Each structure stands twice: as structure tokens, then as C-alpha cells.
Amino acid sequence: MARPIVAIVGRPNVGKSTIFNRMIGDRLAIVEDMPGVTRDRLYGIGEWLNHQFSVIDTGGIEIDGDDAILKSVRAQAELAIDEADVIVFMVDGKAGVTAADQEVAELLFRSKKPVVLAVNKIDNIKRQDDIYEFYSLGFGTPFGISGAHGTGLGDLLDEVVQHFPADTEDDYGDEVIRVALIGRPNVGKSSLVNTVLGEERVIVSDVAGTTRDAIDSPFERDGQPYVIIDTAGMRKRGKVYENTEKYSVMRAMKAIERADVVLIVINGEEGIIEQDKHVAGYAHEAGKASVFVVNKWDVVEKDEKTMQNFTQKIRDHFLFMTYAPILFLSAKTKQRVHKLLPVVNHVAEQHAMRIPTHVLNDVISDAVAINPPPTDKGRRLRINYVTQVSVKPPTIVLFVNDPELMHFSYERYLENKIRGAFGFEGTPLRILTRKKSDDE
């Protein structure tokens, strides 16, 4: 089930990024602390009142060409209107209502999307009166907040979650493997979908961004039902979309949330670019099984080391996803396409794998015996008990004497031992450290 999407919209310097960071808290640390992940982010995951939601900071979207502020703000608002379930419209309480605010308000008003008005920089009680003029924008009660101090955010988020759409599950069933194809425009996603399906189900064009929306294509192969969620192109009409490469990340988010397996399609002819890391990082953070698919391999000039070198480039660029298999193919010539679904089946199985508790404890006990945890100021980490608490992604909890004694390098060592014993190929592995309570 896809998380609701909240977009933060407003003119520059109203504090969008500060509020974005406060909404997502420290969740970016899951990925950001790992080497090889781009830090240039405009999306994250927030949580409020047991609701998880994706957050988009439109201030991170750069519009090329005419750099007039009003045009840029308008373009960002249009992107948010297309993608968001709820829009947080941010204004500056100190500056009052501006022409740019009115411009954005008109766009949002016409969109018919739920809009929650946030008046930032209401840093103390004396400034509370500054919010009243913003009633003129036509979005009901303005919520006074302070990005600097974090005040007022609770009331704002209370209102935001009221507008989330009702939970909707697709009706494909648990046995269906949901596969999302993601990647920047013109890497050959539509061609790959058509080749797998064996029919011209999706428009294919050399013009980047031909496909307008995610398209579901259910099919069955060797008794296994699948649905391909194709985000091919990940762009819509107009120059705004053509000049906003980062927009593809926004298009991919919904598809990733619904998927069991994510195919990260890379153009073998052009190689890896920064945007590929944005999209892959989101798949990793969402805990999805993933496969790197290098397409257009038929047009790459090759020698005996070309594939080996490209594999190493992927490993170097995506250090946080060493678990993901890499497949080289050509949708056009159908070279190696027959290997795709078996790999999808395998990583989907690994993603849903559950290890018996006693077997897991044996592996961890052996790992600790071979390489005991290092001491920290005379104290040593002691692992009392290990259990797998969930799947998709596999999540393992270590009950220890003191979680503070778990060093990231030792956690990585244990993860490698777990993967060595059980595989977990193609899937992220979540390892959580908890203090063993006295009654356990």
C-alpha cells in the first residue's frame, strides 16, 4: 500500500526545508549515514499519529531556464499538485501576504486538492496576530508554526493527517509479485515491459518521457502471477517536467511503495548518473527487494572486461546496496531477458524469508565465538537473544545488555554473517538492537 504524499509548497525563504527536516526527523539517517548515498534529497518519510507518509520538499526542485522566482515557484507548485495527496502551503508570517503567495494560492485553489496553510516564523506569542491576514488566501484557518523552535507542528500535522485518503489495498492478492520498474527517462523501461509481456502494452518512443503515468500490467508466467507497475518516463507534459530531472524521483515514490521487487533500470550506453542514486536510495529506504537492470547492453562496445568494469562501477556508486543482483540485458534484442523473472522470483522469495529463531541464534553464537565484540571503556557488548520479527524486509532484533555498546562495524559484521548463512540476496536487512529487560 502506498503511503500518502505530503508536499510542502511556497515561495523561497519561507522555511520549507526546515519544516521538511522537522517532519521527517532523523529518518534520513537510515540511508544518509551509509557511504555512496547522495545527500541532495527532496523526499523523506514522516510519521504522525501512527500514520506514515512521504514528504516532498519542492524547494529542492530546481527549474532550469528562466530563473524568475515567480515562474520557479509556480512550476514547483504544479509538480506538487500533480503528485501530492495533501499540500502544505507555507508562507512567511513576518513578511505578510505577497504577490508570489497569491500566485501559488490561485494554483492550489484551482487544484481541488486538500491544502493546509502553515504560517511560519511565528516564533513567540506576540507574533500570533500575524497569522490573521492569511485568511485572505482562502484556505480556512492558518496554522502558526515556528521552524526554528518546532512549535505548532503538532497542530499542523493533526490537520494534515485528517486529509489523508482512506487506506486502499490493491486487489491482486498475496501470491502476486508486484514489480516496479524505476529509472530516469529513456532508459528503456517501456521496451522492457513490452518484451516481458510479449506484446505492445506500453507506448515506446525515443522521446524521453512518453509514458504519462504508472501503468499496471498483470500477467502470469509458469503459474506465478505478477503485476508490473511501470513508471516509464516518470514525467508529464510541458517544459517544467522536461527540465526537472529530480521529478522522476517523485514519480517513482508511489510505484516503489506498492512494489515487492524494484527493478532499477540503468542505461548501459550512458552509464550511471546522480539521479540513479536518488531513485535507488528511495527503494532501499523503503525496504524493498531490488535488482539492478542494465539495459541497452546490445549497443555497448565491449571487450572481455566491460561487464566486470560496469559491475564494479555499480558497486562503487551504490555501496549501500551490495545485496542487489545485477543483470545485463537488451529489451530491444531480448538478450538475457529470459533471466529477469527467475531473478525477480528469487529476490521476492528472499525478501519474504523467515529464519527460525533457534537457527538464527546458532549463527549469531558462532559469529560471536569467532569474533567477540570489542570492549568499550572496559565494557563488552553481550548478545543474549536474537529473533526475526518481520519480513518484507527481513527485520532481526538483537537483545543485548546495552545497545550503546553496539558499534556499526560490528553490526555490519553480524549482517555479513547472517547473509553468509541464509542469503537474503536482493533484499535490505534491518538489524535492530534492543536492551534485554529483566523479565526476559
Q: Is 150 annotated as a binding residue?
A: no
Q: Is 298 within any annotated ligand binding site?
A: yes
Is 354 annotated among the ligand-binding residues?
no
The answer to the question of whether 171 is labelled as a binding residue is no
CB atoms closer than 10 angstroms to residue 345? 16
Residues 249, 334: Cα–Cα separation, whole Å: 27
Confirm whether residue 230 is marked as ligand binding.
yes
Nearest Cα neighbor of 260 from 348, 389, 339, 183 is 348
- Any binding-site annotation on 14? yes
Which alpha helices (H) appear in 42-177, and where do they start and end?
69-83, 99-111, 153-162
60 known member of a binding site: yes
Q: Is 185 annotated as a binding residue?
A: yes
Longest dimension (CA), the chain: 72
92: which 3 cell numbers?
A: 512567511
395 annotated as a binding-site residue: no
Contacts of 404 (CB under 8 A, 6+ apart): none
Q: Which residues contact 51 (CB under 8 A, 6 or more apart)?
A: 4, 161, 164
* 61 annotated binding-site participant: yes
Q: Is 271 annotated to bind ligand?
A: no
The residue type of 199 is E
Is 382 assigned a ligand-binding role in the annotation?
Answer: no
Checking DSSP bridges between strand 5-9 and strand 375-376, what pairing results, if any?
A: unpaired
Q: Is 15 annotated as contributing to ligand binding? A: yes
Q: How many CA atoms lie within 13 A of 292 on its CB side?
A: 27
183 is in an annotated binding site: yes
Residue 416 labeled ligand binder: no
- The annotation status of 286 as a binding-site residue, yes or no, is no
Q: Is 11 annotated as a binding residue?
A: yes
Confirm if 259 and 288 have CB atoms less than 8 A apart. yes
Whether residue 13 is annotated as binding a ligand: the answer is yes
16 labelled binding-site residue? yes
10 is in an annotated binding site: yes
Q: Report which residue type is found at 437.
A: S
Say whether 268 counts as a known binding-site residue.
Answer: no
**Closest to 116 (Cα-Cα) out of 161, 151, 58, 147:** 161
Q: Is 94 labelled a binding residue?
A: no
287 is in an annotated binding site: no
For residue 339, what is its C-alpha cell? 533471466
Q: Which DSSP string corresponds to 323-356?
A: TS-EEE-BTTTTBTGGGHHHHHHHHHHHHT----
Cβ-based neighbours of 392, under 8 Å, separated by 6 or more: 260, 287, 351, 352
Per the annotation, does 371 bind a ligand? Answer: no
- Judge whether 245 and 275 are in contact, CB under 8 Å: yes
In this structure, what C-alpha cell is assigned to residue 19?
519544516
- Residues of each annotated binding site: 10-17, 57-61, 120-123, 183-190, 230-234, 295-298
- Residues of each annotated binding site for GTP: 10-17, 57-61, 120-123, 183-190, 230-234, 295-298
